[in-house]
Structure 1
Amino acid sequence: MTNTISRRLLAIDEGRQQLSLVDTATDTFHWTLDLSPYPLARDLQRIDAARALVGFDRGFFELDIESGRVLHACARWTDVTAVHRRPDGHTLVTGWNLDGTGGVNVLTLDRDWNVVASARRDGDYVRLMRPTPDGTYLLCTNDHILETAPDLTERRRFGVSEFEHAWKAERNGDGTTLVSGGYGAVMVLFDAAGNVQQRCGAAADLPAEVAPFFYASFQQLDNGHLLVANWQGHGPDNGHKGRQLLEFDAQRRLAGTWSAPQRISSLQGILVLD
């Protein structure tokens, strides 16, 4: 029997198009924001103690974490899939056809949200993008991870057969890369050379009630644990299909789960605050 996860986090419910501040220990929803003005919100980043950056289909907004109030919004495009605020204050906006030429783009915005650089490559699919400590970009392009230079020229690609709509890739300090496999419902750790080092979270290794379906956003915690959002499908009535949030320990054994089926249908984005 696993424990109930005890975390304070921002949670995107894709099925009901809502963003909430949740304390999973007590099932407390401190606030819930209707995302209908900000459709297809997928990406979350904490930018300081008080604010988070939220990416959605048309751009991004800055959120006051404690109140759930939208502070500023930038909505200029369609098919934005990822946003990232750099330490210098510039914002990277990733998506498809953002410059009107029908490819995958990463735009760089200055502090005043003016576009100061635009990169493009051929392609029709991209999900979350993360920069690496080496200055490259990791783009999830369905069945593989594409690592590129900032101008989107390919450096290398890697993946496994389970990847289908792979969602997020994150480079660790030791050079390894952790990826959530989307419909493959597996977490895969690649070594610095791009070879598989570890898999975890496969259905065969979990209790049946977890029902892994689509591994979306994840967060690696300071204690070595890993939190994973187990998305269950489009629409408002998926909350009872499986456990929505999974926690794996440092050895990648299932350590805890959490669900709020009356409040969340399909958990997709998470940002741990404690």
Structure 2
Amino acid sequence: MKIEHRFLAIDEGRQQLSLVDTGKEGVLWTRDLAAYPLARDMQRLDSGRVLIGYDRGFFELEIATGTVAAVCERWVDVTAVCRRPDGNTLVTGFNLDGTGGINVLTLDRELKLIHTARRDGDYVRLMRTTPQGTYLLCMNDHILEATPELVELRRYAEPGFEHAWKAERRADGGTLVSAGYGAFMAIFDDEGRCIQRFGAQDKVPGAVAPFFYASFEQLPDGRLLVANWQGHGPDNGSKGRQLLEFSADGRLQGSWSAEDRFSSLQGILVV
């Protein structure tokens, strides 16, 4: 079934960022990300701007035009960024403080470093905050829920997690996770028990070809959009359906691909 959404798309395979309308308008603009390698994370700031994290830091971007408005470039191996309501920015990554562990740095409105949190580890991908003030960090084969000092509170793990990419707290208190190479979505209850898996290869048509479930977007009506990344390099667009839409109860409702324009969708942000 055809799906209609307007979203920002990070095509990791071609290292490009695009504004896409899957309905009538198609691809509205595309910009090269060579100057901003390994862009992975996106956050809506307001009606016109987004925050985008990449290997060396982050930048702000105007949605309508793709124009870069501001850049903060200080590190190597940044994997996630988050602008808080108070104007502070959280920067997550590996070895950002030079001590060889996982860090979440806090920058104030002037981008001055005001806090460093650290824990042992050598892998982290996206990080999200929760309404409870905790952090959800993707640590390869599990999701770590931690305090702002990175003290462990709970782990969410399920067989098949490999490079688990994103975790986000749901409105009902559960936690939604994309399993990376596991190529399924998982929902955990507030005790850390997996209560549902969906989107796996045996639950969707063969043309979908689940390979790596990366970023996802929870829509207000409960539907879910998932980026089905297909591999490194510029020529993966025909290997599977690139954007998947699931119903609130985990049934595949539709999908979208544009193999002539995209290779491997990794980051998505509905705008």
Give the TM bin, normalised by the shorter chain. Answer: over 0.9
Query: Displacement of 1:166 after TM fit?
Result: 0.1
Q: Which runs of 5+ in 2 are unaligned?
A: none
Alignment partner of 1:137 out of 128, 131, 135: 135
Cα distance per residue 1:41-73 (max 9 Å; x no partner) = 000100101100000000000000001000000
Matched, 1:105 2:97: no
| Matches of 1:26 and 1:101, distance apart in 2 | 50
Residue 195 to residue 152, structure 1, CA distance change in 2 (3 Å):
same
Cα distance per residue 1:47-101 (max 9 Å; x no partner) = 1011000000000000000010000000100000000010111100000000000
What's the counterpart of residue 178 of structure 2?
Answer: 180
| Matches of 1:144 and 1:162, distance apart in 2 | 10
What's the counterpart of residue 118 of structure 2?
Answer: 120
Equivalences, count: 271
Q: Quick check: 1:143–1:165 contact (8 Å CA) kept in 2?
A: yes
Matched, 1:46 2:59: no
DSSP 3-state at the match of 2:160: coil
RMSD of the TM alignment (CA)?
0.7
What's the counterpart of residue 155 of structure 2?
Answer: 157
Alignment partner of 2:83 out of 85, 99, 124: 85
| Matches of 2:25 and 2:155, distance apart in 1 | 40
Query: Displacement of 1:169 after TM fit?
Result: 0.3
DSSP 3-state at the match of 2:20: strand
Summarize the alignment of residues 204-215 of structure 1 with structure 2, pairs less than 5 Å apart. Answer: 204-215=202-213
| Matches of 2:218 and 2:210, distance apart in 1 | 19
Write the letter of the residue equivalent to 2:195.
Q
Write the letter of the residue equivalent to 2:172.
D
What's the counterpart of residue 57 of structure 1?
Answer: 55
What's the counterpart of residue 10 of structure 2?
Answer: 12
Q: Which runs of 5+ in 1 are unaligned?
A: none
Query: Displacement of 1:27 after TM fit?
Result: 5.9
Alignment partner of 1:199 out of 194, 197, 201: 197
Q: TM-score, normalised by structure 2?
A: 0.99
Query: Displacement of 1:172 after TM fit?
Result: 1.6
Q: TM-score, normalised by structure 1?
A: 0.98
Alignment identity in percent?
68
Write the letter of the residue equivalent to 2:143.
I
Query: Displacement of 1:174 after TM fit?
Result: 2.1
Cα distance per residue 1:146-171 (max 9 Å; x no partner) = 11110011111121011000000001
Q: Quick check: 1:54–1:63 contact (8 Å CA) kept in 2?
A: yes
What's the counterpart of residue 239 of structure 2?
Answer: 241
What's the counterpart of residue 254 of structure 2?
Answer: 256
- Report runs of 4+ in structure 1 exceeding 2 Å deviation: none
Q: Quick check: 1:41–1:56 contact (8 Å CA) kept in 2?
A: yes
Alignment partner of 1:23 out of 16, 21, 24: 21
What's the counterpart of residue 223 of structure 2?
Answer: 225
